[in-house]
Structure 1
Amino acid sequence: MTTAARPTPAQMPRRLPTPAAAEAPTLDGRPAHRQPWERAILASSLSGNHRFVAIALSTHADGRGHFARQPRVMGLVHNTGLHAGQVRVALAALVDRQFLRRTPATGPIDNADLTLTLPPGALARARRAHQATTSRSTADV
């Protein structure tokens, strides 16, 4: 009993790449107010570095979620003390999770204009988390 040799990648049939799945449309693309946005960030399951970059970014926003002067990646590097690559990854994660909208939507994030946005359901999760912590702190008293 002999076994056939395993095929190499060069011997495999060529396939056309599958088209990327269409992104789910955002329900609300309007800018988010800064304070609820910060609560939603803190209640999210983002990693610590991503939340740190998000809060540092929000300090540059006005109350309505707009930036008068975009902080850019290097500004966030100076604010957070993280490496530029870490800041880029955090910003990309925030865009993917719909906490940020960037204009233009393609191209490097270094020069994109950012706007704070709330993904669907994030505000409700933040309210539940806030109520849970508030009820625990009043129960201790």
Structure 2
Amino acid sequence: MTTAARPTPAHMPRRRPTPAAAETPPLEARPAHRQPWERAILASSLPGNHRFVAIALSTHADGRGHIARQPRVIGLVHATGLHVGQVRVALATLIDRGFLRRPPADSPIDNVDLVLTLPQGALARARRAHQARAAAQADQPTP
């Protein structure tokens, strides 16, 4: 009875394989309307500070998600009472998760113009959470 030789690290390639090219380019996120965006933020699993910064930022947005007067990091620090580092981390997380877009992607977060965007699936999760809350309220007896 013979067994096949088990692979060892010596059998692995010496260089990292090059990543495969994406077959389809990623879709450009469009600006999100303010009210569904806020519902998606509140239904998300983001930490409380991140949601607080997001809602403070959304107060500066118009109904279509464009922010005419950008509050910048220092404005959000004054509006929320959080430290500069906490606001920067919250903005970076919101950008990474797709809730915000900054047009020049390599620009510093302190002076960048932000646009509210909805990541895929966020609106559906917010709708399900809203329906679950409405169903729970309907099941409660009225006094």
TM range (shorter): 0.7 to 0.9
Q: 1:138 to 1:39 in 2, by over 3 A?
A: same
2:51 is matched with 51
Could you tell me whether the CA contact under 8 Å between 1:28 and 1:120 is conserved in 2? no
Measure how far apart 1:108 and its partner are.
Answer: 1.3
Counterpart Cα distance in 2 of 1:96 and 1:71: 20
2:106 is matched with 106
Larger Rg: 2
- Superposition map of 1:47-126 within 5 A: 47-126=47-126
Provide structure 2 residue ranges, at least 5 long, that are not aligned to the other structure. 1-13
* Identical-pair percentage: 74
Could you tell me whether the CA contact under 8 Å between 1:56 and 1:80 is conserved in 2? yes
Q: 1:19 to 1:100 in 2, by over 3 A?
A: farther
Q: Deviations over 1:82-115 (max 9, x none)?
A: 0010000000000000000012111310011100
Measure how far apart 1:29 and its partner are.
Answer: 1.1
My pick for the range that moved more, 74-83 or 17-26, is 17-26
Measure how far apart 1:22 and its partner are.
Answer: 8.4
TM-score by length of 2: 0.81
TM superposition outliers: structure 1 runs of 4+ over 3 Å: 15-28
Counterpart Cα distance in 1 of 2:25 and 2:84: 30
2:128 is matched with 128
Could you tell me whether the CA contact under 8 Å between 1:26 and 1:119 is conserved in 2? no
TM-score by length of 1: 0.82
My pick for the range that moved more, 36-45 or 16-25, is 16-25
Could you tell me whether the CA contact under 8 Å between 1:30 and 1:117 is conserved in 2? yes
Counterpart Cα distance in 2 of 1:16 and 1:93: 32
Task: Tell me the amino acid that sits aligned with residue 134 of structure 1.
Answer: A
- Computed over aligned residues only, the root mean square deviation of the Cα atoms, in angstroms, reads 2.4
Task: Tell me the amino acid that sits aligned with residue 86 of structure 1.
Answer: Q
Provide structure 1 residue ranges, at least 5 long, that are not aligned to the other structure. 1-14
Query: How many residues are matched?
Result: 127
